[in-house]
């Protein structure tokens, strides 16, 4: 069953695309049919190309009694092949088991339309007569048409007193519109006044809440900053005292470590952040040779050679650091040898 539906869908899509050609919409010429066996009417097919992969097709029936009625609406989409996405008959969805019969009926009607389009002369008139047998439709009952006799009587009365009815209708309409206009103007004024007052009240409330919340947040922030600063100063001083105590506990046989500890303690005392305190603590040497290296390479402990005057004024300093001038500022003799080298000779 599904295979038959898919094949019918493909045939419908091919014909629709052929009719469309390069256009985005197409409608067949109205073809004469009979509605409900006795009522003359016309049948036409309207096609709209939504995109390259979607078609919307409607079968439209027209008559003087019922006006224009949508017989069937087809929504066809292309994935791997063309498939029927949705189908409605008289605006009611068609069940899946009935789609095959409806698609075969539609293909038969398309065949009749194609035959009429290809016919000429006497064959054209003959095809019109034969098409009525295929294109004939039975419309569902319409409550309005069942009351045709009552409507006819009303139409007769209206035709006799048209001027009076039209005048009365116009006057009544103008009065109603005037009343509605006046009422709406008054209602609009009241609404605007109420809205402005409510808006002003909400703005004042929001502004007051904003200032109150801002003051509270600023006060909390100031308290946090003060508390954090006090905690930091306490931790910094405590770390400074710990390093000083450690330096004092060292014996005189470890002069370099004692000196480096004092130097690091001074750096901790002037630290501005926790990261600086942690960094200085990580530099504490655990061995005497490490302390001597620290003192020899630490810029803050440099005793430059420029403190002494060379014997010969044009004499260059024996060592200079890379990327620096040979001015003696970046070179020193370590603490362990200073007492033996104070004499320039």
CA distances from 302 to 281, 326, 335 (A): 20, 15, 10
Give, in degrees to the nearest 5, the angle at Cα 6 between 115 and 58: 55
What is the arithmetic mean of pLDDT over 10-36?
Answer: 89
What is the arithmetic mean of pLDDT over 259-286?
Answer: 90
Average pLDDT, the chain: 80
pLDDT bucket at 121, cuts 50 / 70 / 90: low
3-class state of residue 298 by DSSP: coil
pLDDT tens per residue across span 30-56: 888 888 777 888 899 999 999 888 999
pLDDT bucket at 156, cuts 50 / 70 / 90: very low
Using the predicted structure, report yes or no on whether residue 341 has a pLDDT greater than 50.
Answer: no
Using the predicted structure, report yes or no on whether residue 308 has a pLDDT greater than 80.
Answer: no
222-236, 258-272, 315-329: range with lowest mean pLDDT = 315-329
CA distances from 222 to 46, 215, 233, 235, 236 (A): 75, 10, 16, 20, 21
What is the arithmetic mean of pLDDT over 251-257?
Answer: 84
What is the arithmetic mean of pLDDT over 288-311?
Answer: 72
pLDDT for 273? 92
* Number of Cβ within a 10 Å radius of residue 9: 24
Is the C-alpha dihedral spanning 331, 336, 337, 338 positive or negative?
positive
The pTM for the full model equals 0.42
pLDDT bucket at 254, cuts 50 / 70 / 90: confident
- Whole-angstrom distance, CA of residue 298 vs CA of residue 295: 5
- Whole-angstrom distance, CA of residue 322 vs CA of residue 333: 17
Q: Distance between alpha carbon 279 and the CA centroid of its chain, in Å? A: 46
């Amino acid at each position: 069953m599904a295979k038959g539906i898919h094949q019918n869908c493909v045939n419908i899509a091919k014909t629709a695309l052929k009719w469309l050609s390069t256009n985005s919409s197409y409608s067949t010429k109205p073809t004469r049919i009979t509605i409900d066996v006795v009522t003359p009417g016309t049948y036409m097919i309207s096609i709209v190309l939504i995109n390259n992969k979607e078609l919307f097709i409607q079968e439209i029936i027209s008559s003087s009694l019922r006006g224009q009625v949508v017989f069937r609406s087809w929504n066809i989409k292309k994935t791997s092949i063309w498939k029927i996405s949705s189908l409605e008959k008289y605006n009611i969805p068609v069940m899946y088991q009935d789609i095959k019969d409806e698609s075969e009926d539609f293909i038969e009607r398309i065949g009749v339309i194609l035959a009429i389009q290809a016919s000429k002369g006497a064959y054209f008139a003959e095809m019109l007569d034969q098409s009525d047998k295929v294109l004939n439709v039975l419309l569902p009952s319409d409550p309005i048409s069942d009351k045709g006799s009552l409507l006819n009587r009303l139409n007769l009365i209206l035709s006799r007193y048209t001027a009076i009815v039209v005048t009365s209708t116009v006057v009544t309409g103008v009065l109603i519109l005037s009343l509605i206009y006046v009422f709406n103007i008054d209602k609009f004024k009241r609404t605007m006044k109420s809205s402005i007052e409510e808006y002003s009240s909400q703005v004042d409330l929001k502004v007051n809440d904003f200032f109150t919340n801002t003051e509270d947040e600023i006060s909390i922030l100031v308290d946090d900053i003060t508390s954090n600063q006090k905690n930091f100063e306490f931790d910094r001083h405590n770390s400074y005292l710990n390093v000083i105590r450690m330096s004092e506990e060292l014996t005189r046989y470890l002069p370099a470590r004692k000196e480096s500890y004092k130097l690091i303690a001074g750096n901790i005392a002037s630290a501005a952040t926790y990261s600086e305190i942690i960094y200085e603590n990580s530099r504490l040497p655990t061995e005497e040779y490490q302390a001597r290296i620290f003192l020899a390479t630490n810029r803050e402990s440099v005793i430059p050679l420029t403190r002494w005057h060379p014997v010969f004024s044009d004499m260059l300093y024996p060592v200079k650091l890379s990327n620096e001038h040979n001015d003696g500022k970046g070179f020193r003799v370590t603490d362990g040898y200073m007492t033996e080298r104070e004499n320039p000779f």
